[in-house]
Homo-oligomer: A and B are copies of this chain.
Amino acid sequence: MQHFIPILTLFLFSQVTLAELRGTGDLGVIIEREPAAVQIINTTHNKSLSRISELGDLSHASVVFSRDARYAFIFGRDGGLTKIDLLQDKIVKRIIQAGNSIGGAISQDGTLIAVSNYTPGGVKVFSSETLELVANIPALYGDNQLSKVVGLVDAPGQKFVFSLFDAGEIWVADLKNPTQVKIEKFQGVGKQPYDALLTPDGRYYIAGLFADQGLALLDLWSLEQGVKRILPAYSKQDEKLPVYKMPHLEGWAMAGNLMFIPAIGQHEVLVIEKNTWQLVKRIPVLGQPVFVMARPDGRQVWVNYAFPDNAHLQVIDVKSLDLVKSLNPGKAVLHMEFTPRGENIWVSARDDNRIVVYDTNSFKEIMRLPANKPSGIFFSSRAHKMGL
């Protein structure tokens, strides 16, 4: 009779699963492009926990996390939206929600997942629990045309903010009631916004303009003031210097009052004073910067580069505004992610098929981890941050 007790036990705890007990605060996801998969990793023990495949096209993929840090939502370039359980190392659900998408965000309260789509142009909003569609926001403009949508971020007050590339508009969508989405539209913000960021406090939305001068700035605390143009000298340069890769705006660094942004097509990082939005300094660097990211304490800014300088990393000291270190993690450094309190940084070197982890204090290499054409690295502490 006693043989039946375990069976009974498993039956009674039908919602209980056998799995290694695992906190979710120190987990992360690494995107592998070829073959398309993600690795789930742990940043305390610096190890890989599992690999999950069959995720479609993961070029330019990005990730957000549920507010319990248990689930990762993967946005694929092919319109795939996949919910992964970081505790059971498996896909919970996968849908193809559009033909071509460019990223997503999770709402302040964690209940909604929004995806920005090129085809069809617009934003679709899903339940984070079930991935069922709860709101559809076509990016209609002009003569009933649909615009590509870029620069989608979550914002305080259960809002999403995004830009319409073809329309030159910024929209603020309030989803407190997802069945009655309220949208505030800002038109004529500049030609071809191509990406955007939200400052870490959730206040300023800044869009880059592919075919215009300067940047479009919206203060979410003062929507009535509309969109302003800042940094008029910021733009693609003339034809002399080819732009190998448009910099990512999401990687712009805020450190205290200073904002560090990649100059487009030039070998410079620009330092902006956030209160006035004026240029403070141009820091010469060794290539065209792509990601310019601040360590969580704001004391260092790490920079990676476009081809042909993409085997390098450089570190700016924020106190002196000087370069203090150059590193060579491997070929084609695509992304980097700081551990939540900044003691380490994880770097992907795509063409050397590895992740390299550094101590940010000593700049010593701590370990390497094999990965197949790795690109984005996303840690679960993002669950608690706004504007990602």
Contacts and interface: CB of A to CB of B under 8 A. Distances in A.
Contacts of A86: 23
B361 A157 contact: yes
Interface residues of A, number: 66
Contacts of A221: 299, 319
Interface string A305-344: 0000000000000010000000000000000000111110
Contact of A10 (B4, B6, B361, B380): B6
A44 B67 contact: yes
Interface in A98-114: 108-110
A19 interface: yes
12 contacts: A6-B6, A21-B87, A23-B71, A24-B68, A25-B25, A25-B380, A26-B67, A157-B361, A158-B361, A201-B255, A381-B384, A384-B384
Contact of A15 (B6, B20, B69): B20
A275 interface: yes
A17 B21 contact: yes
Interface in A143-184: 156-158, 176
Contact of A108 (B42, B110, B341): B341
A86 to B, nearest CB: 8
Given A26-B68, A156-B341, 11 more contacts: A13-B18, A17-B21, A23-B24, A25-B67, A27-B68, A67-B341, A108-B342, A202-B297, A203-B256, A257-B257, A296-B386
A11 to B, nearest CB: 10
Interface in A117-135: none
Given A70-B25, A256-B201, A319-B221, A340 B157 contact: no
Contacts of A87: 21, 23
A19 B20 CA distance: 10
Prevailing SS type, chain A contact patch: loop
Nearest to A15: B20
A166 to B, nearest CB: 31
A383 interface: yes
A110 B68 contact: no
A16 interface: yes
Interface string A292-307: 0000111100000000
A348 interface: no
A88 interface: yes
Contacts of A233: none
Q: Which of A22, A23, A298, A361 has the most chain B CB atoms inside 10 A of its CB?
A: A23
Interface string A375-388: 00000110111100
Interface string A75-111: 0000000000011100000000000000000001110
Given A70-B23, A257-B275, A298 B201 contact: yes
Nearest to A109: B343
Contact of A343 (B6, B158, B340): B158
Interface string A207-243: 0000000000000011000000000000000000000
